[in-house]
Amino acid sequence: MTKNSSHASRIGQKSAKWIYGLTMFFLVLSGFGQMPLYKRYYIADIPGLKWVSDFYITHYLHYLAAIVFLGFISYKITDYLLAFRKTHLITLSGYIRGVWITGIVFSGACLVINNFTGKWFSDSFIIFLDLAHTGFVMLLFITAVYCKISKKKWIMARVG
Amino acid sequence: MSKGLSRRSFLRGSMAAGAAIAASTIPGVVSARDDSTQLATLLDISKCIGCEACVEACEEVNGHKYPNPQKPFPKMFPPRVPVADWTDKKDVTDRLTPYNWLYIQRAIVDVNGEETEINIPRRCMHCVNPPCVKLCPFGSAQQQDNGLSRIDPDICMGGAKCKLVCPWKIPERQTGVGMYLDVLPSLAGNGAFYKCDRCYERVAQGELPACIEVCPEDVQTIGPRDEILKEAHTLAKEMNGYIYGKEENGGTNTFYVSPVPFDKLNASVDIGPGMPHLKPVKDTMADANNIAAAMVIAPLAGVAAAAGKFYKLTRTEDVSKGGTQNDKK
């Protein structure tokens, strides 16, 4: 790898971290905004944050953040398969986080479909989707905190 | 206003029975037996005399579903969380409450130079794509195949999202009931929400909703949405009138037909808590649904970007290797 491409790779990694972090922040902010919490617990009273108690705004923002997130994870998965698969392994914590993200994406996609006109799923499945979506987010959050503290990476270099 | 079983309500009950028999012979009443077809109601408000027979019938049929809260209510945290207690105001019939899912809204307007009272039975519009159902974070608001939407009070947390996203602010809260009592009674939730469920049990059994069955003036008609919409257009043409509910919020399953423009009615009626407006309503679910297509495109863009990067990288490396070999030569 040339000096220039190595520099570009570092910038790319930093950008990816920022995109992932910011997207996650807005997904979580707008996702919890789907529950009536922000007005009750004074978050919407903070100057400049009144909009977080508007369910339509947070709903729209959640969709926008989800679009960026889907593009980002598709990029990272393809990037790994094409450029890193031969030299790097996905770690156990990487697989675990991958499972939680798959759950979030699947349940989220079903909820997006459900929001179109029509009766798409049974009432009990919709309740399951609501709970599963929140549950997977909580599991990803706990796993992410653990990985941050114990410095677990998504991928590691193959040995030998 | 008292809602006890008075002589007036007895007479209305008798009228209801008569109306029910008559309804079965009225060509405009379409069978509501098919539970997989979206059902809509047509309200010819030029016929409504404001007798409130529908309001009383609604209570008689749905009274067993009204809230029965436990008291004292849990102390709410933070204290600013409002307690909504209608238990001492069960008799209120001049607005929507957890104990009154239908009321008569009154407007005084000019019709052909004459001051006329127009009575409008108001309740849930049963939107075709109801935001109260689609955006409920707990799945407690539900839509049936036949288009009616209802709230299951047993799994409602009382967070008020259904009311806040409803363009007409229809659902009404009663504190002291619902799932929040078993979860975090002080910290999350605040009762349960109630609204018209269009007598879903009766409709499932092939019966008419109580308000339709009892009406002595045959104000309402129920049937498959496309047929009812056609009837609404025909009626509007006949009376040179106006339709409300066809376009509102992307379409509802309630069509009001009036000889007076709805902006005039809206200007005349009392509007406030429990008293919905008659303004035009944009499709509240459309903005987010319109960008949902990008969720399909985004992963493709991600794959294309990564593949492009890989191609560029391998090409750069090829050029670099080729350059090195040339240098060696």
Structural domain contains residue A53: yes
B50 has a pLDDT exceeding 70? yes
Q: How far apart are CA B131 and CA B164, in angstroms?
A: 10
| pLDDT band of B317, cuts 50, 70, 90 | confident
Amino acid at B135: L
Report yes or no: A100 and A140 within 8 Å, Cβ to Cβ.
yes
Residue at A74 is within a domain: no
Tens of pLDDT along A70-100?
Answer: 999 999 999 999 988 899 999 999 999 999 9
Q: Tell me the pLDDT band of B2, cut-offs 50, 70 and 90.
A: very low
Q: What pLDDT is stored for residue A5 in this prediction?
A: 63
Quote the percentage of chain A above a pLDDT of 70.
95
At residue B61, the pLDDT reads: 97
The reply to whether A43 and A91 lie within a common domain is: no
Burial class (CB in 10 A: 0-12, 13-18, 19+), B113: exposed
Query: Do A63 and A99 contact (CB within 8 A), yes or no?
Result: no
Same domain, A105 and A156: yes
A62 lies in the same domain as A101: no
Residues of A in contact with B324 (CB under 8 A): none
Q: Rg of the Cα trace of chain B?
A: 26
Asked if the structure places residue A155 within a domain, the reply is yes
Q: Coil, strand, or helix at residue B172?
A: strand
Q: Please check whether residue B143 is in contact with residue B130, taking contact to mean a CB–CB distance below 8 angstroms.
A: yes
Residue of B nearest to A4 (CA): B316
> Are residues A93 and A29 part of one domain?
no
Question: For residue B110, what pLDDT band results from cuts at 50, 70 and 90?
Answer: confident
- For residues B73 and B65, the answer to whether their CB atoms sit within 8 Å is no
pLDDT bin (cut points 50, 70, 90) of residue A32 is: very high
pLDDT digits (tens, 9 = 90+) for B241-285: 999 999 999 999 999 999 999 999 999 999 999 999 999 999 999
Residue A132 covered by a domain: yes
- pLDDT band of B9, cuts 50, 70, 90: very low
Domain ranges of chain B: 7-291
Residues A60 and A98 placed together within one structural domain of the fold = no
Same domain, A61 and A4: yes
By C-alpha distance, which of B149, B174, B170, B192 is closest to B275?
B170
Judge whether A151 lies within some domain: yes
Q: What pLDDT digit, counting tens, does each position of B137-183 carry?
A: 999 999 999 999 999 999 999 999 999 999 999 999 999 999 999 99
Residue B35 pLDDT > 70: no
When pLDDT is cut at 50, 70 and 90, the band that residue B72 belongs to is very high
Please give the residue range of the domain that contains residue A145: 87-160
Q: B327 pLDDT exceeds 60? A: no
Number of domains in chain A: 2
Which of A52, A53, A63 to probe the B interface (max B CBs under 10 A)? A63
Residue A54, classed as helix, strand or coil, is: coil
For residue A76, is it within any domain?
no
Q: Which of A92, A88, A126 is nearest to A110 (CA)?
A: A126
CA A18/CA A16 separation, integer angstroms: 5
- How far off is chain B from A65, nearest CA to CA, in Å? 10
Q: Which of B127, B134, B151 to mutate to test the interface with A (most CBs of A within 10 A)?
A: B134
Q: What is the ipTM of this complex?
A: 0.89
Would you say residue A54 lies in a domain?
yes
Q: What is the mean pLDDT of chain B?
A: 88
Please compute the mean of the pLDDT values over residues A13-42 and round it to a whole number: 93
* One domain for residues A20 and A59: yes
Cα nearest neighbour of B286 on chain A: A116
**CA B281, B41, B90, B8 torsion: positive or negative?**
positive
CB contact under 8 A, B159 and A34: no
Range with the poorest average pLDDT among B4-8, B126-130, B160-164: B4-8
Distance, in Å, from the CA atom of B165 to the CA atom of B162, rounded to the nearest integer, reads: 5
* pLDDT greater than 50 at residue A11: yes
Whether residue A155 sits in one domain with residue A103 = yes
Asked whether residue A73 is domain-assigned, the answer is no
A42 and A99 share one domain: no
Q: Is the pLDDT of residue B24 over 80?
A: no
Which residue among B188, B303, B313 sits closest to A74, beta carbon to beta carbon?
A: B303
CATH code reported for the domain at B7-291: 3.30.70.20
Q: Which residues of A touch B (CB under 8 A)?
A: 1-2, 5, 34-37, 40-42, 55-56, 59-60, 63-64, 66-68, 70-79, 82-83, 109, 112, 114-119, 123, 126-127, 129-130
